[in-house]
């Protein structure tokens, strides 16, 4: 665009805007209204309309004379605080109605505890029965895999051996129950492997559960494809999700397996203590080392915890004391200085006094 063309465009724009402004003035375009003038500090604008707040009582309240108390709400303007009238307040009701009530007349619906009603009775028995009937049943407690189902199968079979006591319909139900229990036992993920151990054979890995509840998982090499091998080479387990899901499903059963193993071990506390002492005597012939080992075994016996743990510790400690008295005597016996030195280092509450 040349300089002459730019000047012509500017002149044309000015002419167009001048014509539009003149046309608007001629037609009388409305201008924005001016705010009303405030005279003598008063706002000339009209007041906003008032709204009536109606208060309705749940129950009819009567005064001492028997007349019905009329409650009239005070009108209040929008956006301003009004007078609050509490339903069921006889004092406020009588003041508004122009009467006076000598006694405390309360609305029955606003009374928390009514005279003569036993508030401590609690829900009825029918309510509790309906609630329990509609509640979800509790899951069975954690058990050793297959043992609970095996016990149920044995119980049903013992009933079938007394078939003469049952009707044909009851016998058919018992046989169907055995079939269902056998299916449930076959569906158990943990299968007995002997010696208190269990195993599972999944599609891509094998699981070995030891007697103490610990788990070993091994992948099946024949199921690994090229992508799986590449992931394993970079330290990524391609089956980690499936393994975690398996551990979640079998957690309660593995806990039950470990608890049973610990109970068995605690019941054998004295036997295990004897095994450790025999191994100590077979390992060294140094009397000082034998004395130190026997003391440490005595000091490691549990004194606190649940009943089975304390009982196991007490049995093991009694065996250690008996072993010391039978093997460490005469020239090999603990001297008073050795007993005092070891007793000062003990962690147990009981004193180390093997010959008392």
Q: Token match 């003038």: residue? A: 37
The number of domains in the chain is 3
> Considering 139, 165, 186, which residue would you say is the last residue of a domain?
186
Residues 280 and 246 occupy one common structural domain: no
Residues 180 and 200 in one domain: no
Q: Is the residue at 243 inside a domain? A: yes
Quick check: is 18 in a domain? no
- Note whether residue 283 is domain-resident: yes
Q: Residue 147: which residues within 8 A CB-CB, separation 6 or more? A: none
28 is a domain residue: no
Q: Are residues 230 and 289 in the same domain?
A: no
Interhelix angle 287-299/269-283, nearest 10 degrees: 160
Q: Which of 160, 186, 212 is the last residue of a domain?
A: 186
Residue 272 lies in a domain: yes
Cβ contacts of 101-106, under 8 Å, gap ≥ 24:
101/63, 101/64, 102/64, 103/64, 105/61, 105/62, 105/63, 105/64
Domain shared by 218 and 240, yes or no: yes
Q: Are residues 335 and 291 in the same domain?
A: yes
Tell the residue number behind the tokens 């749940």, with chain if given.
58
**Which residue range is the domain that position 222 belongs to?**
191-250
- Residue of 196, 319, 174, 323 whose CA lies nearest to 264: 196
Strand partners, 194: 197
Same domain, 243 and 280: no
Cα 71 off chain centre by: 52
Closest CA to 142 of 39, 258, 275: 258
Position 240 in a domain: yes
| CB 188, CB 146: distance < 8 Å | yes
pLDDT at residue number 319: 95
Across the strands, what pairs with 39?
Answer: 42
Do the domain assignments include residue 129?
A: no
Residues 324, 303: Cα–Cα separation, whole Å: 20
Sequential pLDDT tens for the chain (356 residues): 555 666 677 777 778 777 777 776 665 555 556 555 555 556 666 676 666 666 655 545 454 455 454 444 444 444 444 444 444 444 444 444 444 445 555 555 555 555 555 555 667 778 878 887 888 776 656 678 878 888 889 999 998 888 888 888 988 999 999 899 989 888 888 998 988 899 999 999 999 999 999 999 999 988 888 999 999 899 999 999 999 999 999 998 999 999 999 999 999 999 999 999 999 999 999 999 999 999 999 999 999 998 999 999 999 999 999 999 999 999 999 999 999 999 999 999 999 999 98
pLDDT at position 141: 60
| Co-location of 334 and 291 in the same domain | yes
Q: Is 200 helix (H, G, I), strand (E, B) or coil?
A: strand
Establish if 335 belongs to a structural domain.
Answer: yes
Same domain, 244 and 308: no
């Amino acid at each position: 665009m040349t300089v002459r063309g730019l000047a012509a465009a500017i002149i044309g724009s000015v002419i167009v805007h001048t014509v539009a402004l003149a046309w608007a003035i001629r037609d009388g375009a409305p201008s924005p209204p001016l705010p009303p003038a405030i005279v003598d500090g008063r706002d000339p604008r009209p007041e906003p309309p008032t709204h009536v707040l109606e208060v309705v009582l749940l129950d009819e309240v009567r005064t001492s004379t028997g007349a019905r108390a009329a409650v009239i709400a005070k009108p209040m303007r929008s956006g301003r605080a009004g007078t609050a009238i509490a339903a069921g307040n006889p004092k406020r009701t009588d003041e508004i109605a122009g009467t006076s009530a000598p006694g405390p007349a309360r609305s029955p619906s606003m009374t928390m505890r009514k005279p003569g009603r036993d508030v401590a009775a609690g829900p009825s028995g029918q309510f509790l029965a309906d609630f329990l009937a509609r509640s979800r049943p509790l899951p069975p407690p954690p058990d050793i895999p297959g043992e609970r189902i095996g016990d149920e199968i044995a119980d049903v079979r013992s009933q079938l051996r007394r078939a003469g006591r049952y009707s044909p319909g009851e016998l058919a139900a018992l046989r169907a129950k055995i079939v269902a229990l056998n299916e449930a036992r076959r569906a158990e993920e943990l299968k007995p492997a002997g010696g208190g151990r269990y195993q599972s054979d999944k599609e891509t890995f094998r699981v070995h559960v030891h007697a103490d509840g610990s788990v070993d998982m091994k992948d099946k090499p024949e199921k690994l494809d090229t992508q799986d091998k590449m992931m394993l080479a970079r330290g990524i387990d391609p089956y980690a999700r499936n393994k975690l899901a398996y551990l979640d499903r079998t957690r309660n059963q593995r806990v039950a397996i470990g608890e049973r193993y610990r109970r068995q071990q605690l019941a054998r506390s004295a036997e295990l203590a004897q095994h450790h002492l025999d191994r100590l005597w077979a390992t060294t012939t140094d009397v000082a080392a034998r004395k130190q080992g026997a003391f440490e075994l005595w000091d490691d016996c549990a004194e606190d915890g649940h009943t089975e743990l304390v009982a196991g510790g007490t049995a093991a400690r009694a065996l250690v004391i008996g072993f010391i008295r039978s093997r460490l005597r005469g020239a090999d016996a603990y001297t008073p200085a050795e007993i005092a030195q070891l007793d000062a280092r003990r962690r147990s509450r009981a004193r180390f006094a093997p010959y008392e």
